Structure 1
Amino acid sequence: MALIYTNENNPATLKLLIAKNVSKAPVNLKIVHVNDRSIPQPRRLPCVEEEENLTLFLPNSAVCYFNPVKENTSEVLDWLEWEAKNLSPCLAYLCGSSVKNPSFKKTLQTYLTKLECSLKDKVYLIGNTFSNADIVIWSTLYPLYLNEALRKEYLLLPNIIKWIEHCETIPQFKEAVAFFKIDGKTAYAALAAGAKYLPIPDLTSSEGTSEESGSPQHTVEVVSEEELKSAKAAWSKYVTKLPKLKQRNGKVLPVSKEKNIFITSALPYVNNVPHLGNIIGCVLSADVFARFCRLCNYNTLYLCGTDEYGTATETKALEEKLTCREICDKYFKIHNEIYQWFNISFDHFGRTSNPEQSE
């Protein structure tokens, strides 16, 4: 028999109970403190222990375990991923933590607008009956609906309200809510504590804006609606109808109004043959990304080369009774040939001892 571990008032528990009610699977519920050492690793709540060696610590995976997806699989899984990666963490941070970041409000409103539009003229998110998508998203939003202050602030959205109230009358949902009580005022704090979401710094504080507080971060690029439509259209085409790939001719220079991608991998040292760990752990992964970018027709430059300075090179030269230049020439040739054998798609494989590099 499956055992659900959870902390009190955690709305993610509703997901598991509703899915369990749908499948009529026998389940026991154990309410614990978030730091209880009896919780199976990695000690996130809620989680499901089915057997001694089987623990499901992602609630949405456990939902699909209890109630396997049989129809509209792709759409259902898309919604489950959206809820787990976007909606649930946002609510936990905004309504369940002490971090007061105005950007969270705007983000949540964006998510709710997306859901509101998706529920237009619909009873359920997908198809003519409720699915796991309805189960997980409804469970996550239910405390927002119960909390009068939060409902007035965020849920002035008729389609979502109508959908929440309808799902609340479904026997499997109704039974779960009656069995596991939810307090709208503290539920998201319980969600945050159970899921152990990493804390996000308050970007409005002096620490968050200080130039000395850490390394500069790249601005997150926002994907536009046009880009999403374009990507979806391209994904739906047969390979023969895709745009022709750019030819790789000569130097790769930045092009205005194009997506310019610069890729490099760790420079191998030339006091010996290439290290397999460097090839597998760094060069191949960078090569895969470079090939992906070229398939997307991005203006892509992939560079690497050999590091030819340092006492280790001098020591190796003394061992082999060669000059530093000769030892570098010898191992550069070996490195270059091996990368060619692996068919690594460098646009240029250079040397740190080149005059251009020195300049």
Structure 2
Amino acid sequence: MALIYTNENNPATLKLLIAKNVSKAPVNLKIVHVNDRSIPQPRRLPCVEEEENLTLFLPNSAVCYFNPVKENTSEVLDWLEWEAKNLSPCLAYLCGSSVKNPSFKKTLQTYLTKLECSLKDKVYLIGNTFSNADIVIWSTLYPLYLNEALRKEYLLLPNIIKWIEHCETIPQFKEAVAFFKIDGKTAYAALAAGAKYLPIPDLTSSEGTSEESGSPQHTVEVVSEEELKSAKAAWSKDVTKLPKLKQRNGKVLPVSKEKNIFITSALPYVNNVPHLGNIIGCVLSADVFARFCRLCNYNTLYLCGTDEYGTATETKALEEKLTCREICDKYFKIHNEIYQWFNISFDHFGRTSNPEQSE
């Protein structure tokens, strides 16, 4: 039987309870303090423990676990992502934390306007019955509706009010609200405390999403319909039925009509021992991505090496009474051994002083 861990008054818990009510899944609820050591890692609330080795710590993922999306999948998932990345963090920071950024208020109004327009002449966000999109967004906005001061400031929006009040009468919603009490004045503080980490909303555009200008040398890759179907088929298969991984043999060269991935991380200077900032911030991150690409059977090349040029190298050589070549040989060996100890999956770890590199 699934067990929901949550702190008191956390509105994200309503999402799980409503989804549970829809599926009629047997679930127990455990109210805990946010610092309770019994909470499964990574100790974010609410979370669902289904088995000893299965914990769902993202509420929207848990909603889909209890109530799998069967229709209008892409639309529902788009709304779930919007709620998790934009609406929920904005409300948590604006109404539930000490962070006082006036831009949050304008951003929230933008989000609510988007929702108001989407609900025009509609009973539900998608289709003729409520979906997981209605469940998660309604649960997040419910404290705003309950708090009279916040409602007057932000919810003078007839379509949203009508939608909230209608959903409140649905048996699964009604049962969840009766079982798990929400106080509109402190609910968003409970949300912020339980999540412990919420992405700060991006305030760089009217939609609260980043609009980075891409490099002129790089065009955005479009995922093909064939790739989407392949990913969906692979996801639904047992791990024993997945394609065998390609063997890593010798040189890695570009292959026509395959996805070729070239990965490199920041070159460490050879005149000193490796430091954790470089290993954790660059090398390990690139290594994780390289391993992921290989699991996808992409043709992947991961390169790095030591940077052996510069006056700092000469200074270090003079300090240790060695030639530049000797100091580079000494510290290259140290770097190489440390990365081997970390089991970094370089295809090649080279040196900028190698003739091939110079060419």
| TM-score, normalising length: structure 1 | 0.63
**Inter-partner Cα distance in structure 2 for 1:84 and 1:28:** 24
Secondary structure, counterpart of 1:71 in structure 2: coil
Q: 1:224 to 1:187 in 2, by over 3 A?
A: farther
Q: 1:201 to 1:258 in 2, by over 3 A?
A: farther
- Which whole-Å deviations, capped at 9, do the CAs of 1:264-311 have from their partners, x for residues lacking one? 952366899999999999699989999999999999999999733369
**Inter-partner Cα distance in structure 2 for 1:8 and 1:240:** 42
Greater shift in the superposed pair: 205-214 or 143-152: 205-214
**Inter-partner Cα distance in structure 2 for 1:71 and 1:211:** 30
- Which whole-Å deviations, capped at 9, do the CAs of 1:216-242 have from their partners, x for residues lacking one? 999999999999999999999999999
Q: 1:114 to 1:25 in 2, by over 3 A?
A: same
Q: 1:213 to 1:260 in 2, by over 3 A?
A: closer
Shift in Å, 1:37: 1.7
Count of paired positions: 359
Displaced runs of 4 or more, over 4 A: 198-265, 268-306, 310-359
**Inter-partner Cα distance in structure 1 for 2:225 and 2:132:** 26
Secondary structure, counterpart of 1:209 in structure 2: coil
CA contact (8 A) 2:270 2:331 kept: yes
CA contact (8 A) 2:111 2:207 kept: no
Q: 1:257 to 1:208 in 2, by over 3 A?
A: farther
Aligned to 1:90: 90
- Which whole-Å deviations, capped at 9, do the CAs of 1:18-39 have from their partners, x for residues lacking one? 0011001111111111112221
Q: 1:41 to 1:120 in 2, by over 3 A?
A: same
**Inter-partner Cα distance in structure 1 for 2:205 and 2:127:** 45
Q: 1:150 to 1:249 in 2, by over 3 A?
A: farther
Q: 1:34 to 1:297 in 2, by over 3 A?
A: closer
CA contact (8 A) 1:101 1:202 kept: no
Greater shift in the superposed pair: 1-10 or 211-220: 211-220
Task: Return the index of the structure with the highest Cα Rg.
Answer: 1
Shift in Å, 1:56: 1.1
**Inter-partner Cα distance in structure 1 for 2:3 and 2:160:** 32
Shift in Å, 1:314: 7.3
CA contact (8 A) 1:100 1:202 kept: no
Provide structure 1 residue ranges, at least 5 long, that are not aligned to the other structure. Answer: none
Matches within 5 A, 1:278-289: none
**Inter-partner Cα distance in structure 2 for 1:54 and 1:253:** 39
Secondary structure, counterpart of 1:207 in structure 2: coil
Secondary structure, counterpart of 1:206 in structure 2: coil
- Which whole-Å deviations, capped at 9, do the CAs of 1:190-229 have from their partners, x for residues lacking one? 1111111269799999999999999999999999999999
Q: 1:68 to 1:241 in 2, by over 3 A?
A: closer
Aligned to 1:33: 33
Q: 1:67 to 1:221 in 2, by over 3 A?
A: closer
Greater shift in the superposed pair: 95-104 or 240-249: 240-249
CA contact (8 A) 1:270 1:328 kept: yes
Q: 1:224 to 1:276 in 2, by over 3 A?
A: same
CA contact (8 A) 1:101 1:203 kept: no
Aligned-residue Cα RMSD (Å) equals 9.1
Shift in Å, 1:336: 18
CA contact (8 A) 1:92 1:192 kept: yes
CA contact (8 A) 1:99 1:201 kept: no
Shift in Å, 1:118: 1.3
Greater shift in the superposed pair: 325-334 or 263-272: 325-334
Q: 1:291 to 1:100 in 2, by over 3 A?
A: same
